Amino acid sequence: MKTYACYEPNGQYIVTGTCENDLTEYDIPDGCSVYYGEVSIVTQYHDIATNTPAEKGARPSDGYTFNYTTKSWEPDTAYLIYKIGIVRLQKLQESDWTDTASAPTRLGQTLYAQWQTYRQALRDIPEQPGYPLNVVWPTPPQ
């Protein structure tokens, strides 16, 4: 039995498997090439220049995708904006109790103003320099 991997012109492995004989042109997806040997679709790409599997390296963090053209991890800004938005909305919802008509009386003017500043800082997160790659979360008042 032979192990194989089909890869796209950019080096992205798309399918692996085993076969008795070499694959025929009808077995290989359109536009793809085949490599005979063990590969990991998750951790490797096909280096076209050397015709061998190459390691992608560790993902820097959640929200990065591998760019098969540049052979590097790049931020997925749409995903990062989405994830940040979820956390920001949760923090705003958790502090909604501080933004009621009776809050200034219950909290006192100083603490009420601190909560208002905190909530505004949450709303201003998309305006931070470096957003969405670098976000500084405000600290809620005590």
pLDDT at 142: 87
Residue 61 or 5, more confident? 5
Average confidence (pLDDT) over 19-46 = 95
| Segments making up each domain of the chain, as ranges | 2-74, 77-127
Q: How many CB atoms lie within 10 A of CB 33?
A: 15
Report long-range pairs for 39-44 (Cβ below 8 Å, ≥24 apart): 39/5, 39/13, 41/5, 41/13, 41/14, 41/15, 41/16, 44/13
Q: Tell whether the model's pLDDT for residue 2 goes beyond 90.
A: yes
33 and 15 Cβ atoms separated by less than 8 Å? no
Which pLDDT band holds residue 14 (cuts at 50, 70, 90)? very high
CA dihedral in degrees (34, 36, 40, 45; nearest 10)?
-50
Q: With pLDDT > 90 as the criterion, what percentage of the chain qualifies?
A: 98
Tokens of 79: 């995903």
User: By three-state DSSP, how is residue 44 classified?
Assistant: strand
Average confidence score pLDDT of the chain: 96
Phi, psi of 97 (to 5 degrees): -60, -20
Average confidence (pLDDT) over 23-34 = 95
Average confidence (pLDDT) over 98-114 = 95
pLDDT at 117: 97
Give 41-86 pLDDT, tens digit per residue.
999 999 999 999 999 999 998 899 999 999 999 999 999 999 999 9
Torsional sign, CA 100, 101, 107, 112: positive
Average confidence (pLDDT) over 105-109 = 94
